[in-house]
Amino acid sequence: MKMSMNVGIIGYGNLGRGVELAVNAAADMELKAVFTRRDPSSLKIASENVPVVNIKEVGDWADKLDVVILCGGSATDLPVQTPEYAKLFNVVDSFDTHARIPEHFANVDAAAKDGGNCAVISVGWDPGLFSLARIYSNAVLPEGQDYTFWGRGVSQGHSDAIRRISGVKNAKQYTVPVQAALDAVRSGSNPELTTRDKHERECFVVLEEGADAAGIENEIKTMPNYFADYNTTVHFIDEAEFARDHQGMAHGGFVIRSGKTGAQKENNELIEFQLKLDSNPEFTGSVLTAYARAVVRLNKEGKAGCMTAFDIAPAYLSPLSGEDLRAHLL
């Protein structure tokens, strides 16, 4: 008989709902509770017979859960929550503020060791599966160049930046990889690419009544950091079109390592990893769930402390046995 893992979710936004779907789809996992800062009675979750619990009561669940999947944001939630809950539970998060990863890793590592728990941080697709593509391809091809392209998909940060402009009612910004740059990379020529060469930004904007379209378009296109370094297109649309065409959560991207082998480095070796996702949060939730399985197993083996995707052998992510993996996937 296979043992089922008892799973908790902290945070029930798009990502929390994606994790819920993935946990419910896993034969070896059981969702036991969803924790929220909101009034639990106000929150209706998709799973039946799973309690919604006030986050303040999470300590009561320390012996009831094998792993907790943290679904808050990287800006303010996870830097606090992951260390806090790593004292009580095995935890998994998708922390993606790149510059703060060393600090986050150290905080979570200390807390997890303190509690005798395992934590894995920064799993999702970037960081996460894209990081795996980078580490494997760099290990195999030490001589070479890495390229990461994102999109086509919505950037929340860029959409927010547009919405802060006076006269803008609503906005979505899509990050779009430039096909000519992708083609150049795939040719093996190892081009030097500027920010402008690699990605374009496409904006769909709903204006407040009487707003100055030309002025707003100029304000977007010249906005430092967010848009000034890119070729940016601005489309003004009405609310109906916005509601109809811009609610999707598709995303994706490409990690390419273009390496050289041979005595004279005369041979090109191209490794490419691609994602094309209809639902960014459901996919990210699926990655978190696979790593939740891994941390439970690693903790049962006596491991404690913080890890990333780099530190975990792939077999730990799969519900299949070593024999089955070798027979069917090797």
Return residues touching a copy of itself (CB under 8 A).
18, 21-22, 25-26, 46, 98, 101-102, 105, 122, 127, 129, 131-136, 138-143, 186, 188, 252, 261-263, 266-279, 282-283, 285-287, 290, 293, 308-315, 317-319, 322-323, 325-327, 329-330
Q: How far is the CB of 204 from a copy of itself (least distance, A)?
A: 21
Q: How far is the CB of 71 from a copy of itself (least distance, A)?
A: 15
Query: How far apart are the C-alpha atoms of 86 and 80, rounded to whole Å?
Result: 10
Q: How far is the CB of 265 from a copy of itself (least distance, A)?
A: 9
CA distances from 161 to 166, 211, 225 (A): 11, 17, 11
Q: Which is nearer to a copy of itself, 113 or 186 (CB)?
A: 186
Spatial CA neighbour of 234 closest among 211, 203, 200, 213 = 203
Q: Which is nearer to a copy of itself, 175 or 308 (CB)?
A: 308
3-state secondary structure of 326: helix
Q: How many CB atoms lie within 10 A of CB 150?
A: 20
Within a 13 Å sphere around the CA of 260, how many CA atoms are in the beta-carbon half? 11
Q: How far is the CB of 205 from a copy of itself (least distance, A)?
A: 27
Q: Which is nearer to a copy of itself, 205 or 307 (CB)?
A: 307
SS (H, E, C) 54-92: EHHHHHHHCCCCCEEEECCCCCCHHHHHHHHHHCCCCEE
Residues 137/316, Cβ–Cβ less than 8 Å: no
Q: Which is nearer to a copy of itself, 176 or 255 (CB)?
A: 255
- In the sheet that holds 67-70, the strands lie side by side as 52-54, 29-36, 5-10, 67-70, 91-92, 118-120, 305-307
Q: How far is the CB of 239 from a copy of itself (least distance, A)?
A: 25
Q: How far is the CB of 119 from a copy of itself (least distance, A)?
A: 14
Q: Which is nearer to a copy of itself, 175 or 258 (CB)?
A: 258
Q: Which is nearer to a copy of itself, 237 or 255 (CB)?
A: 255
